[in-house]
Amino acid sequence: GGGDMWPLLQALSLAPPSALSRLPAATPRYLRAPGVRLSLDASALSAVGEVEDAAPAPDLRLVAPAKVNLFLRVVGKRPDGFHELASLFQTVSLFDDLDFWTSPREEGAPLASLEVTPDSLGAELIPTDESNLVVRALSLYAERVPSSPAIHCRLHKRIPAQGGLGGGSSDAATALHAANRLAGLPVSQETLIEWAGELGSDCGFFLSAGTAYCTGRGELVDPRRPLPPTACYLIKPAAGLSTPSVFKALGLEPGEAGPAGADPADLLSRFEAGDVYNPDLYVNDLEPPAFELMPELRQMCDDLRKFGFQAVMMSGSGTTCFAIGMPLEEVQETWVDELQAKYDVEVFEEMFCRRIADEPSLWYTEQPPGAVLTNIEEPERGLFPL
């Protein structure tokens, strides 16, 4: 019956048309990097239009989503100097593209290699050695799963760096998922989340279905049922703030409790009850110190509220802010221009996105065979199994 379908329809809801149009094209050209051998079967080659001079299609193409923190409570500062957090993380439909090619392991050849597309955002600043989390993720997987192949990754970056959007962590989690898939899924999701936690405190989150309650430094991931599809505009100022400077301005001493305020468990239960448009639930303890360091952020959030968005908040340690829902009808065509006339910002029109829960072989935006998207404007109402 219809009731049985609802979890599937919810889980399958995808990004808005604007985001879908940015998904990678199906037939890339690939310039082989020196020393990288690529395996390729005939079926993959036949999918490429110009077979004579076409380079091999990737063995796997995936997207890596950005994230926002829908609430972030600082519970306290631990004796070891780290801050104890309680936060609801949510993936959004701003994606990096990652292409993966496998080859047999060879003596003296790298098990993991990376290239960055020349038109990536900030391409010249992205390292391609072991300091890149993608290379570290692929190397870690290769060390722990000796039967896995060597992997070359090509990264196309769209998620701005230093904005609290988790792009680097997302790329690393996507690389771990890809390595596991290309090896035949020998490693459990739970183990992958643990390995991801070794790479960075946000990495494990992206191996959830897109919504998770994260505690500790953010590395303790409690995957939750995905939230309903919700419009989420990202506003990324050109100016950044370093995460340590924001925590320092918060001013907690080791062993000291965080700011008084709403119980994170209560905020979580209210979000899960579907109250995503309630501005009272959007609490970020790092906003006051960030606003102190950069007063124009507070002014910008106030301006966004005047445009009529249901909830407005800074994400994580900033400086990216997000606006939930839709602006007032009379400013729909003008608010971005007005905002950009006043502040040096990029604006991304996105939605909450998710993976299909309980399908470890599927990644963000991927659907099981037989699911047909019939109504792109209302994805949650437009999916019917064949």
Alpha-carbon gap, residue 70 to 300, rounded angstroms: 18
User: Average pLDDT for residues 189-215, to the nearest whole number?
Assistant: 93
> What pLDDT digit, counting tens, does each position of 296-333 carry?
999 999 999 999 999 999 998 889 999 999 999 999 99
- What is the percentage of the chain residues whose pLDDT exceeds 90? 69
Indicate whether 3 pLDDT > 60: no
pLDDT value at residue 224: 94
Which of 155-164, 243-252, 304-313 has maximum average pLDDT?
304-313
The DSSP H or E segment spanning 132 is: none
User: Is 67 a known active-site residue?
Assistant: yes
Handedness of CA 147, 152, 158, 159 (dihedral sign): positive
Give me the catalytic one of 97, 99, 202, 285. Answer: 202
User: Average pLDDT for residues 134-147, to the nearest whole number?
Assistant: 97
Lowest-confidence region among 51-65, 97-111, 114-128, 306-320: 51-65
Grouping H, G, I as helix, E, B as strand and the rest as coil, residue 134 is helix
Alpha-carbon gap, residue 287 to 296, rounded angstroms: 12
Give me the catalytic one of 67, 77, 157, 236. Answer: 67
Token duo for residue 323: 């606006």
Residue with tokens 């908040």: 313
Whether cis (ω within 30° of 0) applies to the bond prior to 319 is yes
User: Is 202 a known active-site residue?
Assistant: yes
The band of 372, judged by pLDDT with boundaries at 50, 70 and 90, is: low
The band of 43, judged by pLDDT with boundaries at 50, 70 and 90, is: very low
> What pLDDT digit, counting tens, does each position of 80-110 carry?
988 999 999 999 999 999 999 999 999 989 9
